[in-house]
Structure formats: C-alpha cells, structure tokens
Amino acid sequence: MSIRKRRSIFDVIEEYFESVEQWMDRIRESLIEGPSWDCKSCTIKPLSDITVASDKVIVTVDLPYAEESTIKVLPIDKDMIEVTAKMRRKISFDDFGITHHKGEFHTFKCQVYIPVPVYIDKMEVKFKKGILVIELPRKREYEIPIK
Amino acid sequence: MDEEIKIIEVRKAPKEAYMIFGFPDVGLVGVIAASHLITELGLTEIAYIESKLLPPVTVLHEGLPHSPIRVYGNHQIMLAVSEIPLQEELVHPVTRKLIDWGREKEVKLMISLSGIPVPGRQDLEELKVFAAASTGETLKMIQEKGVEILMEGYMVGPQAVMLQYCATLKLPAVTLLSQCFFNYPDPEAAAKVLDLLANIIGVKVDVSKLIEKGEEIRIKARDIMRRTQQELAKMGKSQEFDIPLYIR
C-alpha cells in the first residue's frame, strides 16, 4: 500500500491561487487583442478552433499556403499545444495593399489551450485542404459507479 | 432606431433591380462572394450607410474614408456589403433600413448570400447549396431552378432578419446558403453560392479566379473572420445546429 503524502492546507490554497491566476491570464489574453502577425519572428497567427467531444478534443487550424512537410505540432505543456508551419511563399504587407507597415511573413505559429485532460502523446494529426485536424483522446480521470 | 440610420446615395440607384446582401457570417461566404461580384461585374458604389449607431470605424481605401457598409451596383444589380461584422443590436435596424430602401427602388428580388456550417467541412468534396424564401411563390420559383430547400431549421443573423422582414412585407426574397466552415473563410463555398446566384439572376459570373486565389483570400480574411466569430458567438449562431421543435 502506498502512503500518500498529505499536503498542507497552505499548499492547497497556493495551488488554488495558481490555477485562478492561470485562468485569469487566459481570459486576459483573449480579451486584450493584439495583431495577428509578428514582424520580428516573421510569423502569422492562424485561425484555430477547438471542439470538446465526449471522447476526444478536436483542434483545427486554418493553414493556407502551408508546406505540409513543415507542419509541427508540439505539446508545450499538459494542456497546451503549439502549431507551426512554413508557408510555400512569403506574404508581405504589400500583398495586402498596406504601406504603413513593413515586413514579410513565412511561418504560421499559434498555441492552443486544451480545456480538458487529454492524452497528448496519443494525438492524431491530419492535413486536408489546408486545414490541420488534431485529435486528442480525452483522459478519464475517474469513473462514478452506477448503483 | 431605424430613423438613426441613413442611406446616402452617391449615384442614381437602378429601379427594379436585384438586391443582393453579402454580410460577414459563417465562412465569410457572403462577403467573399460580394467582393468577387464587385470585381467581376465592375460594380461601383451607389450608396453607403451613415449612422451614429455604427462603431467608430471608417475603412480607408487609397487614403480616403469609406463607410464600412456600402451598396454597389450597375443597371440591374444592387449589392449591399459590409466590411465589418454587424453587431447583434445593429442587425435588425441595418437590414430593415436596406430593405425599406430597396423597396423604394422597387427591387424585384432580394437575395442574401451566406453559408450553412458543416462539421468536418474539409472532408466534403462537393458542397451543397440550400435556399429558403420569404413567400410560397418565391420558394416555388427557386425549387424550379433545381435548388434544394432548407426545409426545417434555425437561421441566425442578417439573412434571418432579411427573410423574416421580407415575409412580413410580402416581398420576394431568397437566402442562398452554401455548406461551409463555421470559423474559417471559405472561398470555395462563396464560389458555389455565386454559381447559383448567376443561374437565378441570369448573369455570367466567372468564379475560377476565386478558386485560384482561395488561399490568398483565406490569409487576407483572417482578421475579419476573427472579429466575425466574436459577433456570431454573441448572436447565438450555433443555434443553427439545433433541431427545432416545429409547432404547427
């Protein structure tokens, strides 16, 4: 029988505040809008979407002009993945008719927060019609017995 | 509220024309289709909307300010297009104002171009276009053109207001909805809806460039799509996935 180390109430409170802070950061990030591009890193933030199904989480990312062989999906935390992809051609502000900014972009980059526990190591990735589909099986942490 | 919205005419609007609506919605189908139509048919600006109710936004084109909601046209078409997503509280007054204005111009048919989101859209090889109409006669006319009718379901957004308001006024109106992505710009769906529009109004529209430039459009349309997503969420757009309890 394994002996579980009891955490102090202070640890529990600290963990709680940490999780609230993380949650606030995410809310803040979604409320404060920045540009969808970054000239320094020459990256564009692609559109992404997430669907939480009963058995899996499906993340999609819109990657037009992406070179399929360069697409990378990396878990950067237990609840966060990062998608990067090189473009087949560089895009510049001139292409959009914009003259008050200068810069060109050759890479897509975005981070997607996964709101429920998943097996990140079991993710399946597909790419079709410029849409990246990432499927992550959901973790079942516990089961409630039916009496 | 309707009185606080003005339509300023910059050129004489045609009488008895088709009036088309292309507003930001799922897949930006309407806006992408409208933008292509303006280029392909060489439509020019005939009117724009002025209102204190609109967000404090002007769209700069070649250094000059333009209202984000404008009407383009030629001798047989009027096309209302918006470069910003309509906020929920503006959907009714703006749509109604445009319909009332179109009514004054004795528009023969109002047509809104939009999309119907489908999960797993990337797996669809052939996109279907559905239609709904404001009156029984208009519905019959559309069916005779071989268009599949959206028989039951919810519709949310400017096209819903357009259809309902035209039904109240007994004006002929049609909404064309191509299967599309919910959250991503969908030029292919816009091309589909334009093919059908061309068939209905008897105008030749070449959509090949729209398909060719699909990826470029998807990159350019990211930011307007992002803002549209926020407005669609406020409008309860996902209700379109619901199965209605139809009370007869």
At A2, the pLDDT band (50, 70, 90 cuts) reads very low
Query: Which residues are A59's β-sheet partners?
Result: A50, A134
Per-residue pLDDT tens over the stretch B67-121: 999 999 999 999 999 999 999 899 999 999 999 999 999 999 999 999 999 988 9
Instruction: Flag whether A110 is in a domain.
Output: yes
- How many alpha carbons fall within 13 Å on the CB side of residue A78? 5
CB contact under 8 A, A95 and B216: yes
What is the mean predicted confidence (pLDDT) over A82-99?
A: 90
Is residue A29 predicted with pLDDT exceeding 60? no
Instruction: Flag whether A9 is in a domain.
Output: no
User: CATH says B2-241 is which class?
Assistant: alpha beta
Q: Hey, how many other C-beta atoms are within 10 angstroms of the C-beta on A72?
A: 11
Distance CA A67, CA A7 (A): 49
Supply the pLDDT for residue B86. 92
Is residue A31 predicted with pLDDT exceeding 60? no
Is residue A1 predicted with pLDDT exceeding 70? no
Q: What is the nearest CA distance from A130 to chain B, expressed in angstroms?
A: 8
CB contact under 8 A, B123 and A128: yes
Is residue B202 predicted with pLDDT exceeding 60? yes
What is the mean predicted confidence (pLDDT) over B193-218?
A: 95
What is the mean predicted confidence (pLDDT) over A125-142?
A: 91
Supply the pLDDT for residue B240. 81
A129: which chain B residues are within 8 Å (Cβ-Cβ)? 122
CB contact under 8 A, A130 and B123: no
Who contacts B100 (Cβ-Cβ below 8 Å, separation ≥6)?
A: B2
Per-residue pLDDT tens over the stretch A96-126: 888 888 889 999 999 999 999 999 999 999 9
Distance CA B27, CA B114 (A): 8
What ipTM did this prediction achieve? 0.87
Instruction: Flag whether A120 is in a domain.
Output: yes
Q: Is B81 within 8 Å of B45 (Cβ atoms)?
A: no
Instruction: Flag whether A98 is in a domain.
Output: yes
Domain with residue A113: its CATH number is: 2.60.40.790
Percent helix, strand, coil in chain B, to 5, is: 45, 25, 35
What's chain B's average pLDDT? 93
Which of these, A77, A69, A50, A75, lies nearest to A61 by C-alpha position? A50
Helices B88-104 and B222-235 cross at an angle (nearest 10°) of 100
Q: How many domains is chain A built from?
A: 1
Per-residue pLDDT tens over the stretch B50-79: 999 999 999 999 899 999 999 999 999 999
**What is the DSSP pairing of strand A80-92 with strand A72-77?**
antiparallel
A130: which chain B residues are within 8 Å (Cβ-Cβ)? 215, 218
Helical (H) or strand (E) element with B163? helix B158-169
Instruction: Flag whether A89 is in a domain.
Output: yes
Q: Where are the domains of chain B?
A: 2-241
Instruction: Flag whether A83 is in a domain.
Output: yes
